[in-house]
Amino acid sequence: MEDEDDCPELVPISAQPGPPAQQIPVTIITGYLGAGKTTLLNFILTEQHNKRIAVILNEFGEGSALEKSLAVSQAGELYEEWLELRNGCLCCSVKDNGLKAIENLMEKKGKFDYILLETTGLADPGAVASMFWVDAELGSDVYLDGIVTVIDAKYGLQQLNEDKANGLVNEAARQIALADLTIINKTDLVNKEELNQVRDTVRSINGLVKIVETQRARVDLSEVLDLHSFDSMDGAKLAEKLELAKPMRPHLDKSILTVTFEVAGELSEDALNAFIQDLLWEKKFCNKDGEPMTVIRLKGVVSFVGKAHQVMVQGVHELYEFNETPQLWEENLHVNRLVFIGRNLDKDVLQDHFVSTVVLKAETP
Ligand SMILES: Nc1nc2c(ncn2[C@@H]2O[C@H](COP(=O)(O)OP(=O)(O)OP(=O)(O)O)[C@@H](O)[C@H]2O)c(=O)[nH]1
Ligand SMILES: [Zn+2]
Protein backbone atom coordinates (compact mmCIF):
# COMPACT_ATOMS: atom_id res chain seq x y z
CA MET A 1 0.00 0.00 0.00
CA GLU A 2 3.00 2.29 0.36
CA ASP A 3 3.72 1.70 -3.29
CA GLU A 4 3.02 4.93 -5.17
CA ASP A 5 2.04 2.98 -8.25
CA ASP A 6 -0.83 1.30 -6.48
CA CYS A 7 -4.24 2.62 -7.25
CA PRO A 8 -4.98 5.03 -4.42
CA GLU A 9 -8.62 3.98 -4.42
CA LEU A 10 -7.66 0.64 -2.96
CA VAL A 11 -6.45 2.07 0.30
CA PRO A 12 -8.84 1.44 3.19
CA ILE A 13 -9.86 4.55 4.98
CA SER A 14 -10.98 5.04 8.53
CA ALA A 15 -13.16 8.04 9.07
CA GLN A 16 -15.34 9.66 11.66
CA PRO A 17 -18.83 8.22 12.01
CA GLY A 18 -21.51 9.86 9.91
CA PRO A 19 -21.16 12.62 7.37
CA PRO A 20 -19.91 15.99 8.52
CA ALA A 21 -22.80 18.39 8.90
CA GLN A 22 -21.77 20.70 6.07
CA GLN A 23 -21.58 18.04 3.39
CA ILE A 24 -24.21 17.66 0.72
CA PRO A 25 -25.66 14.26 -0.05
CA VAL A 26 -25.36 12.77 -3.53
CA THR A 27 -27.76 10.07 -4.63
CA ILE A 28 -26.86 8.09 -7.71
CA ILE A 29 -29.84 7.17 -9.88
CA THR A 30 -29.15 4.23 -12.10
CA GLY A 31 -31.13 1.69 -14.05
CA TYR A 32 -31.20 -0.01 -17.40
CA LEU A 33 -32.05 1.84 -20.63
CA GLY A 34 -35.57 3.19 -20.55
CA ALA A 35 -36.42 2.01 -17.04
CA GLY A 36 -37.63 5.45 -15.96
CA LYS A 37 -34.63 7.30 -14.51
CA THR A 38 -35.41 10.60 -16.22
CA THR A 39 -39.06 10.24 -15.33
CA LEU A 40 -38.01 9.83 -11.69
CA LEU A 41 -35.72 12.85 -11.78
CA ASN A 42 -38.35 15.02 -13.41
CA PHE A 43 -40.83 13.90 -10.82
CA ILE A 44 -38.47 14.73 -7.98
CA LEU A 45 -37.53 18.08 -9.50
CA THR A 46 -41.07 19.26 -9.93
CA GLU A 47 -42.41 17.92 -6.65
CA GLN A 48 -42.91 20.47 -3.94
CA HIS A 49 -40.13 20.18 -1.43
CA ASN A 50 -38.04 22.49 0.63
CA LYS A 51 -34.75 21.35 -0.75
CA ARG A 52 -32.58 22.96 -3.37
CA ILE A 53 -31.88 19.90 -5.47
CA ALA A 54 -29.29 19.87 -8.21
CA VAL A 55 -29.47 17.23 -10.90
CA ILE A 56 -26.59 16.09 -13.04
CA LEU A 57 -27.67 14.25 -16.14
CA ASN A 58 -25.10 11.98 -17.59
CA GLU A 59 -26.52 11.80 -21.07
CA PHE A 60 -23.62 13.01 -23.13
CA GLY A 61 -23.10 12.53 -26.81
CA GLU A 62 -19.89 12.10 -28.73
CA GLY A 63 -16.94 14.45 -28.71
CA SER A 64 -14.36 15.69 -26.29
CA ALA A 65 -15.35 19.06 -24.90
CA LEU A 66 -18.81 18.85 -23.47
CA GLU A 67 -21.20 21.01 -21.68
CA LYS A 68 -23.59 19.33 -19.38
CA SER A 69 -26.87 20.66 -18.28
CA LEU A 70 -27.30 20.92 -14.57
CA ALA A 71 -30.87 21.34 -13.50
CA VAL A 72 -31.48 22.89 -10.13
CA SER A 73 -34.86 22.89 -8.52
CA GLN A 74 -36.18 24.76 -5.57
CA ALA A 75 -39.73 24.54 -4.34
CA GLY A 76 -40.90 23.12 -7.63
CA GLU A 77 -39.11 25.78 -9.73
CA LEU A 78 -36.50 24.67 -12.21
CA TYR A 79 -33.27 26.44 -13.02
CA GLU A 80 -30.79 25.30 -15.57
CA GLU A 81 -27.06 25.63 -15.37
CA TRP A 82 -24.26 24.36 -17.57
CA LEU A 83 -21.20 22.65 -16.42
CA GLU A 84 -18.29 21.71 -18.54
CA LEU A 85 -16.87 18.23 -18.56
CA ARG A 86 -13.68 17.93 -20.51
CA ASN A 87 -13.48 14.21 -21.06
CA GLY A 88 -16.44 12.46 -22.55
CA CYS A 89 -16.69 10.11 -19.63
CA LEU A 90 -18.36 11.24 -16.47
CA CYS A 91 -16.45 8.73 -14.38
CA CYS A 92 -13.09 10.17 -15.44
CA SER A 93 -14.03 13.78 -15.54
CA VAL A 94 -16.46 14.40 -12.75
CA LYS A 95 -13.79 13.97 -10.15
CA ASP A 96 -11.78 16.87 -11.48
CA ASN A 97 -14.32 18.93 -13.32
CA GLY A 98 -17.71 17.85 -12.17
CA LEU A 99 -17.12 18.31 -8.48
CA LYS A 100 -15.25 21.53 -9.20
CA ALA A 101 -18.14 22.73 -11.30
CA ILE A 102 -20.59 21.85 -8.58
CA GLU A 103 -18.47 23.67 -6.04
CA ASN A 104 -18.14 26.71 -8.29
CA LEU A 105 -21.81 26.75 -8.96
CA MET A 106 -22.56 26.60 -5.27
CA GLU A 107 -20.24 29.50 -4.70
CA LYS A 108 -22.16 31.51 -7.25
CA LYS A 109 -25.64 30.31 -6.45
CA GLY A 110 -25.53 29.33 -2.82
CA LYS A 111 -25.43 25.83 -1.47
CA PHE A 112 -27.54 23.04 -2.78
CA ASP A 113 -29.17 20.80 -0.25
CA TYR A 114 -29.02 17.74 -2.39
CA ILE A 115 -27.47 16.38 -5.58
CA LEU A 116 -29.00 13.71 -7.80
CA LEU A 117 -26.83 12.13 -10.44
CA GLU A 118 -28.37 10.10 -13.26
CA THR A 119 -25.99 7.64 -14.86
CA THR A 120 -26.51 6.26 -18.34
CA GLY A 121 -28.36 2.99 -18.64
CA LEU A 122 -25.26 0.89 -19.18
CA ALA A 123 -23.06 2.57 -16.62
CA ASP A 124 -21.61 0.72 -13.70
CA PRO A 125 -22.85 2.73 -10.73
CA GLY A 126 -20.05 1.26 -8.64
CA ALA A 127 -17.46 3.27 -10.53
CA VAL A 128 -19.33 6.51 -9.98
CA ALA A 129 -20.09 5.60 -6.39
CA SER A 130 -16.51 4.84 -5.42
CA MET A 131 -15.44 8.13 -6.88
CA PHE A 132 -17.79 10.17 -4.72
CA TRP A 133 -17.07 8.01 -1.76
CA VAL A 134 -13.34 8.55 -1.87
CA ASP A 135 -13.72 12.21 -2.59
CA ALA A 136 -15.95 12.70 0.38
CA GLU A 137 -13.24 11.27 2.59
CA LEU A 138 -10.78 13.68 1.09
CA GLY A 139 -12.79 16.54 2.46
CA SER A 140 -15.00 17.30 -0.47
CA ASP A 141 -18.27 19.20 -0.14
CA VAL A 142 -20.33 16.14 -0.97
CA TYR A 143 -20.91 12.64 0.35
CA LEU A 144 -22.50 9.57 -1.15
CA ASP A 145 -25.93 8.96 0.35
CA GLY A 146 -27.17 6.02 -1.66
CA ILE A 147 -27.64 4.24 -4.95
CA VAL A 148 -31.16 4.05 -6.37
CA THR A 149 -31.81 1.61 -9.19
CA VAL A 150 -34.90 1.88 -11.34
CA ILE A 151 -36.07 -1.33 -12.96
CA ASP A 152 -38.69 -1.76 -15.65
CA ALA A 153 -41.45 -4.04 -14.34
CA LYS A 154 -42.16 -5.30 -17.85
CA TYR A 155 -38.70 -5.70 -19.38
CA GLY A 156 -36.55 -5.86 -16.25
CA LEU A 157 -36.52 -9.64 -15.96
CA GLN A 158 -35.46 -10.05 -19.56
CA GLN A 159 -32.69 -7.50 -19.03
CA LEU A 160 -31.51 -9.29 -15.90
CA ASN A 161 -31.43 -12.58 -17.79
CA GLU A 162 -29.39 -11.41 -20.74
CA ASP A 163 -26.17 -13.35 -21.03
CA LYS A 164 -23.00 -11.36 -21.41
CA ALA A 165 -20.07 -12.49 -23.48
CA ASN A 166 -16.87 -13.64 -21.74
CA GLY A 167 -18.66 -14.27 -18.50
CA LEU A 168 -19.01 -10.55 -17.76
CA VAL A 169 -21.53 -9.53 -15.16
CA ASN A 170 -24.78 -8.40 -16.67
CA GLU A 171 -25.09 -4.60 -16.17
CA ALA A 172 -28.71 -4.74 -15.10
CA ALA A 173 -27.90 -7.31 -12.42
CA ARG A 174 -24.90 -5.31 -11.27
CA GLN A 175 -27.10 -2.24 -10.88
CA ILE A 176 -29.48 -4.22 -8.67
CA ALA A 177 -26.59 -5.67 -6.69
CA LEU A 178 -25.32 -2.20 -5.85
CA ALA A 179 -28.68 -0.65 -5.10
CA ASP A 180 -29.72 0.57 -1.69
CA LEU A 181 -33.21 1.19 -3.05
CA THR A 182 -34.81 -0.45 -6.08
CA ILE A 183 -37.78 1.21 -7.71
CA ILE A 184 -39.82 -1.27 -9.71
CA ASN A 185 -41.41 1.12 -12.19
CA LYS A 186 -44.14 0.75 -14.83
CA THR A 187 -46.26 -1.50 -12.67
CA ASP A 188 -49.17 -0.47 -14.89
CA LEU A 189 -47.74 -2.71 -17.61
CA VAL A 190 -47.69 -6.00 -15.67
CA ASN A 191 -50.07 -8.23 -13.76
CA LYS A 192 -49.64 -9.30 -10.18
CA GLU A 193 -47.79 -12.50 -11.00
CA GLU A 194 -45.29 -10.79 -13.26
CA LEU A 195 -44.70 -8.17 -10.60
CA ASN A 196 -44.10 -10.86 -7.97
CA GLN A 197 -41.54 -12.46 -10.22
CA VAL A 198 -39.65 -9.21 -10.68
CA ARG A 199 -39.76 -8.54 -6.96
CA ASP A 200 -38.50 -12.03 -6.12
CA THR A 201 -35.69 -11.79 -8.61
CA VAL A 202 -34.56 -8.42 -7.28
CA ARG A 203 -34.67 -9.83 -3.76
CA SER A 204 -32.73 -12.94 -4.76
CA ILE A 205 -29.92 -10.80 -6.16
CA ASN A 206 -29.81 -8.25 -3.37
CA GLY A 207 -31.09 -9.46 -0.04
CA LEU A 208 -30.72 -6.05 1.60
CA VAL A 209 -32.26 -3.72 -0.92
CA LYS A 210 -35.35 -1.72 -0.10
CA ILE A 211 -38.01 -2.13 -2.79
CA VAL A 212 -40.75 0.25 -3.81
CA GLU A 213 -43.16 -0.11 -6.71
CA THR A 214 -44.28 2.81 -8.84
CA GLN A 215 -46.07 4.08 -11.90
CA ARG A 216 -44.38 7.00 -13.67
CA ALA A 217 -41.78 6.79 -10.89
CA ARG A 218 -44.06 8.61 -8.48
CA VAL A 219 -42.35 7.82 -5.25
CA ASP A 220 -42.41 9.33 -1.82
CA LEU A 221 -39.31 11.53 -1.66
CA SER A 222 -38.51 10.32 1.82
CA GLU A 223 -38.01 6.84 0.35
CA VAL A 224 -35.32 8.06 -2.03
CA LEU A 225 -33.44 10.83 -0.27
CA ASP A 226 -31.30 10.69 2.87
CA LEU A 227 -30.84 6.93 2.92
CA HIS A 228 -27.45 7.22 4.67
CA SER A 229 -26.45 3.95 3.08
CA PHE A 230 -22.73 4.54 3.35
CA ASP A 231 -22.34 5.99 6.79
CA SER A 232 -22.59 4.62 10.27
CA MET A 233 -26.29 5.42 10.55
CA ASP A 234 -26.70 2.36 8.41
CA GLY A 235 -25.11 0.07 10.97
CA ALA A 236 -27.98 0.07 13.39
CA LYS A 237 -30.38 -0.88 10.61
CA LEU A 238 -28.28 -3.77 9.39
CA ALA A 239 -29.59 -6.35 11.84
CA GLU A 240 -33.10 -5.42 10.79
CA LYS A 241 -32.24 -5.61 7.13
CA LEU A 242 -30.64 -9.00 7.57
CA GLU A 243 -34.02 -10.35 8.56
CA LEU A 244 -35.05 -9.58 4.99
CA ALA A 245 -32.04 -11.31 3.54
CA LYS A 246 -33.34 -14.81 4.02
CA PRO A 247 -31.42 -17.22 1.88
CA MET A 248 -33.14 -17.46 -1.49
CA ARG A 249 -32.43 -19.75 -4.34
CA PRO A 250 -30.82 -17.84 -7.19
CA HIS A 251 -33.30 -17.14 -9.94
CA LEU A 252 -30.83 -16.74 -12.70
CA ASP A 253 -27.99 -18.79 -14.01
CA LYS A 254 -24.56 -17.65 -12.92
CA SER A 255 -26.42 -15.02 -11.07
CA ILE A 256 -25.44 -12.53 -8.49
CA LEU A 257 -26.74 -13.37 -5.07
CA THR A 258 -26.55 -12.32 -1.45
CA VAL A 259 -24.74 -14.27 1.22
CA THR A 260 -24.96 -13.32 4.88
CA PHE A 261 -23.63 -14.77 8.07
CA GLU A 262 -23.45 -13.97 11.76
CA VAL A 263 -20.51 -14.97 13.90
CA ALA A 264 -20.17 -14.16 17.59
CA GLY A 265 -16.86 -12.98 18.95
CA GLU A 266 -14.24 -10.27 18.67
CA LEU A 267 -12.14 -9.84 15.56
CA SER A 268 -8.61 -8.91 14.69
CA GLU A 269 -8.70 -5.76 12.59
CA ASP A 270 -5.56 -6.76 10.71
CA ALA A 271 -6.98 -10.18 9.95
CA LEU A 272 -10.22 -8.69 8.70
CA ASN A 273 -8.25 -6.37 6.43
CA ALA A 274 -6.38 -9.38 5.09
CA PHE A 275 -9.59 -11.38 4.65
CA ILE A 276 -11.33 -8.58 2.75
CA GLN A 277 -8.28 -7.83 0.62
CA ASP A 278 -7.89 -11.50 -0.29
CA LEU A 279 -11.55 -11.51 -1.27
CA LEU A 280 -11.89 -8.16 -3.06
CA TRP A 281 -8.44 -7.52 -4.42
CA GLU A 282 -6.66 -10.84 -4.76
CA LYS A 283 -9.80 -12.82 -5.64
CA LYS A 284 -8.33 -15.71 -3.70
CA PHE A 285 -11.60 -17.35 -2.73
CA CYS A 286 -13.35 -19.82 -4.97
CA ASN A 287 -16.65 -21.64 -4.72
CA LYS A 288 -16.85 -25.41 -4.65
CA ASP A 289 -16.72 -25.53 -8.45
CA GLY A 290 -13.42 -23.67 -8.40
CA GLU A 291 -14.89 -20.44 -9.76
CA PRO A 292 -13.48 -17.25 -8.21
CA MET A 293 -15.85 -15.23 -6.07
CA THR A 294 -16.58 -11.66 -7.12
CA VAL A 295 -17.97 -9.29 -4.53
CA ILE A 296 -19.80 -6.23 -5.81
CA ARG A 297 -21.18 -4.92 -2.55
CA LEU A 298 -20.09 -5.62 1.00
CA LYS A 299 -21.64 -4.51 4.26
CA GLY A 300 -21.22 -5.46 7.85
CA VAL A 301 -21.15 -4.59 11.49
CA VAL A 302 -18.17 -6.01 13.33
CA SER A 303 -16.48 -6.03 16.70
CA PHE A 304 -12.73 -5.44 16.94
CA VAL A 305 -10.83 -6.62 20.00
CA GLY A 306 -10.35 -3.72 22.36
CA LYS A 307 -12.99 -1.50 20.74
CA ALA A 308 -16.15 -0.80 22.70
CA HIS A 309 -17.95 0.61 19.67
CA GLN A 310 -19.48 -1.24 16.77
CA VAL A 311 -17.62 -0.82 13.50
CA MET A 312 -19.40 -0.56 10.17
CA VAL A 313 -17.85 -2.22 7.12
CA GLN A 314 -18.71 -0.85 3.70
CA GLY A 315 -17.46 -2.01 0.33
CA VAL A 316 -18.20 -1.25 -3.31
CA HIS A 317 -16.21 -3.31 -5.78
CA GLU A 318 -12.60 -3.11 -4.65
CA LEU A 319 -13.00 -0.16 -2.35
CA TYR A 320 -13.86 -0.68 1.28
CA GLU A 321 -13.65 1.06 4.62
CA PHE A 322 -14.26 0.60 8.33
CA ASN A 323 -16.18 3.24 10.26
CA GLU A 324 -16.56 3.28 13.98
CA THR A 325 -20.20 3.92 14.92
CA PRO A 326 -21.55 5.56 18.08
CA GLN A 327 -23.20 2.23 18.97
CA LEU A 328 -21.67 0.29 21.88
CA TRP A 329 -21.46 -3.49 22.14
CA GLU A 330 -23.07 -5.33 24.98
CA GLU A 331 -20.77 -7.45 27.09
CA ASN A 332 -20.27 -10.94 25.58
CA LEU A 333 -22.76 -10.20 22.83
CA HIS A 334 -20.48 -9.28 19.98
CA VAL A 335 -22.40 -10.49 16.97
CA ASN A 336 -20.53 -9.76 13.77
CA ARG A 337 -22.88 -9.53 10.82
CA LEU A 338 -21.60 -9.63 7.27
CA VAL A 339 -23.34 -9.33 3.94
CA PHE A 340 -21.75 -10.06 0.58
CA ILE A 341 -23.47 -9.43 -2.74
CA GLY A 342 -21.72 -10.85 -5.76
CA ARG A 343 -21.10 -13.80 -8.01
CA ASN A 344 -19.99 -17.36 -7.30
CA LEU A 345 -20.32 -16.70 -3.61
CA ASP A 346 -20.33 -19.71 -1.31
CA LYS A 347 -21.45 -19.03 2.21
CA ASP A 348 -19.70 -22.03 3.80
CA VAL A 349 -16.36 -21.21 2.25
CA LEU A 350 -16.58 -17.57 3.32
CA GLN A 351 -17.82 -18.25 6.80
CA ASP A 352 -15.30 -21.03 7.50
CA HIS A 353 -12.45 -18.85 6.38
CA PHE A 354 -13.75 -15.93 8.40
CA VAL A 355 -14.10 -18.02 11.55
CA SER A 356 -10.70 -19.63 11.26
CA THR A 357 -8.69 -16.52 10.33
CA VAL A 358 -10.46 -13.41 11.61
CA VAL A 359 -12.12 -14.27 14.91
CA LEU A 360 -9.68 -13.73 17.78
CA LYS A 361 -11.94 -14.22 20.77
CA ALA A 362 -14.82 -16.52 20.02
CA GLU A 363 -18.07 -16.33 21.95
CA THR A 364 -20.92 -18.77 22.24
CA PRO A 365 -24.09 -16.74 22.16
N1 LIG B 1 -46.31 2.74 -19.11
C2 LIG B 1 -45.40 3.39 -18.40
N3 LIG B 1 -44.42 4.08 -19.02
C4 LIG B 1 -43.52 4.76 -18.29
C5 LIG B 1 -43.54 4.74 -16.86
N6 LIG B 1 -42.51 5.47 -16.41
C7 LIG B 1 -41.86 5.94 -17.50
N8 LIG B 1 -42.46 5.52 -18.64
C9 LIG B 1 -42.03 5.77 -20.03
O10 LIG B 1 -40.88 5.00 -20.30
C11 LIG B 1 -40.02 5.68 -21.22
C12 LIG B 1 -38.61 5.76 -20.69
O13 LIG B 1 -38.58 6.57 -19.53
P14 LIG B 1 -37.31 7.44 -19.12
O15 LIG B 1 -37.63 8.09 -17.84
O16 LIG B 1 -36.83 8.28 -20.22
O17 LIG B 1 -36.27 6.26 -18.88
P18 LIG B 1 -34.70 6.41 -18.62
O19 LIG B 1 -34.35 5.31 -17.70
O20 LIG B 1 -34.34 7.77 -18.23
O21 LIG B 1 -34.17 6.09 -20.07
P22 LIG B 1 -32.66 6.29 -20.65
O23 LIG B 1 -32.15 7.57 -20.12
O24 LIG B 1 -32.86 6.28 -22.11
O25 LIG B 1 -31.90 5.08 -20.20
C26 LIG B 1 -40.66 7.04 -21.43
O27 LIG B 1 -41.38 7.00 -22.62
C28 LIG B 1 -41.59 7.19 -20.25
O29 LIG B 1 -42.68 8.04 -20.52
C30 LIG B 1 -44.61 3.99 -16.23
O31 LIG B 1 -44.72 3.88 -15.00
N32 LIG B 1 -45.47 3.34 -17.04
ZN1 LIG C 1 -32.87 9.11 -18.91
Does the pLDDT at position 93 exceed 80? Answer: no
Cα(238)–Cα(265) distance, rounded to whole angstroms?
18
In the chain, domain spans: 24-61+77-223, 235-245+256-358
Task: Determine whether the shortest distance from the Cβ of 235 to ligand 1 is under 6 A.
Answer: no
> pLDDT tens digit string along 297-318?
998 999 999 999 999 998 888 8
- Looking at residue 121, its pLDDT comes to 67
- Looking at residue 16, its pLDDT comes to 45
Which of the given ranges, 109-113, 132-136, 280-284, 331-335, has the highest pLDDT on average?
280-284
Q: Where is average pLDDT lowest: 117-126, 202-211, 331-340?
A: 117-126
Name the closest ligand to CA 57: 2
If you ran DSSP here, which 8-state letter would residue 304 be given? B
- Looking at residue 349, its pLDDT comes to 95
Average pLDDT over residues 7-14: 39
Task: Determine whether the shortest distance from the Cβ of 31 to ligand 1 is under 6 A.
Answer: yes
Does the pLDDT at position 76 exceed 80? Answer: no
Does the pLDDT at position 206 exceed 70? Answer: yes
In this structure, the residue with its CA closest to atom 9 of ligand 1 is: 36
Amino acid at residue number 299: K
238 phi/psi in degrees, rounded to 5: -65, -40
* Confidence category of residue 108, pLDDT binned at 50, 70, 90: low
Q: How far is CA 275 from the centre of its chain?
A: 21
Does the pLDDT at position 266 exceed 90? Answer: yes
In this structure, the residue with its CA closest to atom 25 of ligand 1 is: 33
Name the closest ligand to CA 40: 1
Residues with CB under 5 A from ligand 2 (ion): 37-38
In this structure, the residue with its CA closest to atom 12 of ligand 1 is: 34
For residue 147, the CA-to-ligand 2 centroid distance in Å is 16
Average pLDDT over residues 226-252: 67
Entry pTM: 0.79
CATH 3.90.1150.10 assigned to 24-61+77-223 = no
By C-alpha distance, which of 348, 328, 350, 352 is closest to 340?
350
* Confidence category of residue 188, pLDDT binned at 50, 70, 90: very high
For residue 120, the CA-to-ligand 2 centroid distance in Å is 7
* Confidence category of residue 103, pLDDT binned at 50, 70, 90: low
Helix ranges, the chain (H):
37-46, 90-93, 99-109, 125-137, 156-161, 171-178, 192-205, 221-224, 235-244, 269-280, 347-357
Contact 140, 111 (CB under 8 A): no
For residue 182, the CA-to-ligand 1 centroid distance in Å is 15
For residue 216, the CA-to-ligand 1 centroid distance in Å is 7
Task: Determine whether the shortest distance from the Cβ of 185 to ligand 1 is under 6 A.
Answer: yes
SS3 25: strand
* Confidence category of residue 62, pLDDT binned at 50, 70, 90: very low
- Looking at residue 239, its pLDDT comes to 67
* Confidence category of residue 124, pLDDT binned at 50, 70, 90: confident
pLDDT: which is higher, 123 or 214: 214
Task: Provide the mean pLDDT of the chain.
Answer: 78
* Confidence category of residue 177, pLDDT binned at 50, 70, 90: very high
Q: What does 149-205 look like in DSSP terms, one character per residue?
A: EEEETTTHHHHHHPPPGGGPPPHHHHHHHH-SEEEEE-GGGS-HHHHHHHHHHHHHH
By C-alpha distance, which of 215, 205, 226 is closest to 342?
205
- Looking at residue 215, its pLDDT comes to 97
- The CATH number of 235-245+256-358 is which of 3.90.110.10, 3.40.190.100, 3.30.1220.10, 3.30.390.10? 3.30.1220.10
User: Within 13 A of 36's CA, how many CA atoms are on the CB side?
Assistant: 25
pLDDT: which is higher, 50 or 330: 330
From the CA of 41, give the closest atom in ligand 1: 15
Interface pTM, i.e. ipTM: 0.98
Q: Where is average pLDDT lowest: 75-89, 239-253, 326-340?
A: 75-89
What percent of the chain stands above pLDDT 90? 39
